[in-house]
Amino acid sequence: MKDYFFFELRQLLKSKKTIGLFCLLLIYSGVYSFWQRDFRPIERVDKTEMQQRYTVRQDFLDQQAANPSDHWSAFMAVEMFTPWNEAEKQRLDALAEKDWQAYAQSTSTWYHLALQFTDERNIFYTPDYYTFRNYYAGYDGRFGYASTAKLMEAFSQLPNSKLSQAVMEQKTGVQALQRSFTEYLPILLIAVSLFLAIDCLPKERRHKSLFLSLPLSTEEILWSKTAALMVGSAIATLGTMFFIWFGSGIQFGFGSLELPVTILSSTFDARYPITDFNAFETQAIGLFLSQCFLATLFLQFLYCRGILLFSALFRSELINLLVSGFCLLSPFLFQRRWFSAYLDKTLYVYLYQNVGQVLSGWTRFYFGSEGFTMEKGLLLLGGVWLLIELCFFLTIQRKKFHLA
């Protein structure tokens, strides 16, 4: 069995299809890394914007101090802008001194105050939230402000030597890698595993007599093929992660695995608006990336086993591709904003494929639900695995069944 596994692995890694897929991932990693040059986070370090905002508000405060107005709105604005502008001044002073620890602390305070004072009637969120057809800009603004407040609070507890503008804007290598997992990287990696596995069994039918003469049981052949596919998938995943980290790191610094990342608290019910930064928790980015890697690997394993099962049942690469492709793309076809706010959709297993968004809590926020957690997702995916193995068992027990 070991010799057959190594034979399958050599065949897999030397095939033109595998080399082509690896090259595709390399191109994606390079494009994504160098795209970081133009990446502009919504909550960024913008001295000009801060200075303009501070100047306008301070002029108003000075005017009110010299000639106070009796109108209630002026009194309310003074009460609001006084602590807010003080935090802004601390941000500007820390930025001038390149004291990133102090900058993080004052920025956390600024966003904490912004959550209290922003009402979308008189004061709005950062303009970048108000994009075309985004009917939930206010919700996104509260999410972004609260997340940034919590993240900056965590940054303020790190030594100054580990902080920089790139860290604040989440542009370092590890932060770019973390961000890629909350976008489309997991889906791309699963798709690569899908294409690796799609002809793993059908190709043996070209040499049917040789294949059937192997001194191995059906289970041993299938598990050897699965193991070879998983090694190929792991190489593809780790290689892509490395090149994204390295490509971004040579531009903005490689970052540290101890840097914090914000996670929407598991106790927060996302059907209700975020009111303060306590809706978020932080964890080390190294732990987050480890969880993303393992969850992605498990999904790749499920797809590999599923494709092998369909190959044994239907003996058609086209059917395998259509069924597995539909499963992979189903989140994009059927999901929508607040998908689970009124009718519980947390049992829809296909919604757990973008593991980075599930782990970060973005899925719960996007769908307006409290139930989309990775723990629940793994239980559902584990049930799918058991179903696949049961189907394998029943299929193999048939008297007329043979792989080729």
- Cα separation, 47 vs 37, in Å, equals 18
The closest alpha carbon to 172, from 294, 39, 9, belongs to: 39
Q: What pLDDT shows up at residue 279?
A: 92
Q: What pLDDT shows up at residue 213?
A: 59
- Cα separation, 203 vs 24, in Å, equals 23
In the chain, where the domains are located: 2-39+174-396, 47-166
53 near 89, Cβ under 8 Å? no
Q: What pLDDT shows up at residue 371?
A: 84
Q: What pLDDT shows up at residue 172?
A: 95
Q: What pLDDT shows up at residue 327?
A: 85
Alpha helical stretches, state H, 253-284 = none
- Can you give the pTM of this predicted structure? 0.92
Alpha helical stretches, state H, 118-217 = 137-155, 165-168, 173-181, 185-197, 208-212
- Cα separation, 97 vs 89, in Å, equals 12
The closest alpha carbon to 111, from 130, 95, 97, 90, belongs to: 90
Q: Say how far residue 379 (Cα) sits from the centre of its chain.
A: 20
Q: What pLDDT shows up at residue 252?
A: 94
Residues of the chain with pLDDT under 70: 204-215, 341, 399-404
Q: What pLDDT shows up at residue 174?
A: 97
The closest alpha carbon to 315, from 196, 204, 210, 192, belongs to: 204
Give SS3 for 346.
coil
Q: What pLDDT shows up at residue 202?
A: 72
- Name the helix (H) or strand (E) containing 221: helix 218-252
pLDDT tens digit sequence for 306-317: 999 888 888 777
Count of CB atoms within 10 A of residue 342's CB? 10
Residue with tokens 């590890």: 174
